[in-house]
Structures are given as C-alpha cells and as structure tokens.
Amino acid sequence: MLKDISIIGVPMDLGQERRGVDMGPSAIRYAGVTERLEALGYNIEDLGDIAIAPRNTRAKQSSGDEHLKNLDEVAEANNKLADAISQVIEKKRFPLIFGGDHSIAIGTLAGVTKPYKNLGVIWYDAHGDLNTAETSPSGNIHGMPLAVSLGLGHPSLTGIGGDQPKVKPENIVIIGARSLDKGERELIKEKNIRVYTMHEIDQFGMTKVMNDAINYLKEKTDGVHLSLDLDGLDPSDAPGVGTPVLGGISYRESHLAMEMLSEADILTSAEFVEVNPILDDKNRTADVAVALMGSLFGEKLC
C-alpha cells in the first residue's frame, strides 16, 4: 500500500435515522488513529471532514423521492466526497475514509473507481446494502450503497461521479453477511455476487474465507477497495453501531482478516463506517476500528 495516507471524515447521519453516527469520525480520531499509523511509518495527512448541514435544516431542504429519506442531502454530501477522493488519488495518496453511516460508500466508490477499469470491492458487513427504493423496507439509503454502485437506484445517486456503474458484480466480495432482505437475496443470485455469510466463516474458518476472497479478486482486478462496516463484527466486540446483528465476526477473526489483506498488498483505498459513540461503551468501537486499521496497515507483534 502507498505510504502516504490522506484521511477524510464524513460526519454523515443522513442515510439512517439513529442519531450519533455523525460523531464517528471524531471518535476514530480520538482513539488515536493518526498516532498509530504514523508509528507504522506512514505519512498521514488529515483533510478534516466533509461539510454536512445540520439535520434540522436538512429536513426542510429535501425535495427528493419520498421513499428515499434525505435523498438530496445524501447526494450532495457524496458528490463532495467523490470529488475530495479524486483529488487525493491524483496526488498518488491512499484514501482512508471515516464514517458516518454507510451511505458514504456511494461517494467513496464514485471517487476511488476512476483510475481503475476493474476495481474490486471487499464489503465487510452484516448487511448486503443491496437494496433499492423498490426493495428497501425503510427507505434508509445506508442500506443501498452497493446497489447504487452497481448502477441500480435513483439517478441522483447512480450519477455521482458519472452515470456508469462504479463496480462490476463479479468484482464484489461480501464477507460476514447475516442479515439480508428478500430483494437483496434475489439480486445476489441474479448478479452472481460472491458472498461469504457467517455460515461459511463458521464452517471453513476465516483463513480459508480470506484466502478465497483474495485469490478471487487478485487476478482480475487492478485495485481493491475495503468497505468495513463495524456492524460486521459481533456486537459483543463492537457495540457502538446503529444496526447490530448477533452472531457476527469476532474481534480476533477480524484482525486475522486485516492481517491477511495487509500481507496480500492488494488494497488501494479503505473506509471504516457506522461507528456511533452515542451507542458505544467508552469509545470501545472506535478503539476496535483503530486496532483493525493497525493490522490492516502492517502492525505486527514482533
């Protein structure tokens, strides 16, 4: 991975309804991410946060699709994020993005995909985030970013960074899924998206799952983006998330996954999302996120 890292915070809580996730970037910074990565020899540039209007003004501004909550505001923020990431990549630096809810991945993928013809995506998450307005039970856009990046969804979202799909279905690997809506399951089958649910992780172990995922992407992609939702971990290890799902990936399994990605040296960008300090226990989930980044960027015991 590039030794020059640019951090971008996205204090977004527009993609869902639980308050507090907008404080995620601050919580991650408070947990010492800059110091930890600098100790590993990285040159860190913190670009601060994407500006997002307060929620009480956003509600009055929105004029988008009625079923898609905060559509206009989500689109605006993600357009800003995509532009910021493009500038980072032009400087040949590694984009590291902190959320905020997972709707920020719309802008992340729109920004990181531009230099690549075959970008791969590792979606480390309890959820598939493959809903559209037609399939979403809630209308929350944080459940839609992967579908949007496939070119499925409202034009205000799919058009961010250009009208073309940002990723091909055969270049996606979902790891840790255990909560999929009916429409998401149908889309996974239709697009033949590779998914390692908790069943596969339990049955075969994280080593085999990660080896399979890395080998699956390594030969056919020219870059790989990691989108890590902290709710991919079990709530006992990462309690400060908005949509916890029991029976998740363990803390140690997650470190192993990050260590294997570090050794494979295939990542060209990464984001860590859905840290919600309001729901957390003494910033524990942000601490977990920073510890996982340590492993991802090469931290070893000896």
CATH code for the domain in which residue 88 is found: 3.40.800.10
Instruction: Name residues of the chain where pLDDT drops below 50.
Output: 59-61
Residue-wise pLDDT for 251-261, tens only, equals 999 999 999 99
Tell me what pLDDT residue 64 has.
Answer: 55
The 3 state secondary structure assigned to the chain is CCCEEEEEEECCCCCCCCCCHHHHHHHHHHCCHHHHHHHCCCEEEEEEECCCCCHHHHHHHCCCCCCCCCHHHHHHHHHHHHHHHHHHHHCCCEEEEEECCHHHHHHHHHHHCCCCCCEEEEEECCECCCCCCCCCCCCCHHHCHHHHHCCCCCHHHHCCCCCCCCCCHHHEEEEEECECCHHHHHHHHHHCCEEEEHHHHHHHCHHHHHHHHHHHHHCCCCEEEEEEEHHHECCCCCCCCCCCCCCCECHHHHHHHHHHHHHHCCEEEEEEECCCHHHCCCCHHHHHHHHHHHHHCCCCCC
Number of domains the chain is built from: 1
Residue 232 lies in a domain: yes
What's the confidence (pLDDT) of residue 1?
A: 79
Would you state the pLDDT for residue 286?
98
pLDDT of the residue at 302: 64
The predicted structure's pLDDT at residue 67? 83
Q: Is there a domain that residue 72 lies in?
A: yes
Residue 301 lies in a domain: no
Tell me, what's the pLDDT at 300?
A: 86
Task: Summarize pLDDT for 10-35 with one digit per residue, the tens.
Answer: 999 999 988 999 999 999 999 999 99
Q: What is the pLDDT of residues 143-183, one digit of tens each?
A: 999 999 999 999 999 999 999 999 999 999 999 999 999 99
* Domain limits for position 164: 4-296
Is 260 a domain residue?
A: yes
Is 11 among the domain residues? yes
Identify whether 230 is part of a domain: yes
Residue 302 lies in a domain: no
Which residues are part of the catalytic machinery?
102, 125, 127, 129, 142, 229, 231, 274
Q: Is residue 225 part of a domain?
A: yes
Does the pTM surpass 0.75? The reply is yes
The predicted pLDDT at position 62 comes to 53
- Residue 301's pLDDT is 75
Q: What is the pLDDT of residue 143?
A: 96
| Per-residue confidence (pLDDT) for residue 56, from 0 to 100 | 58
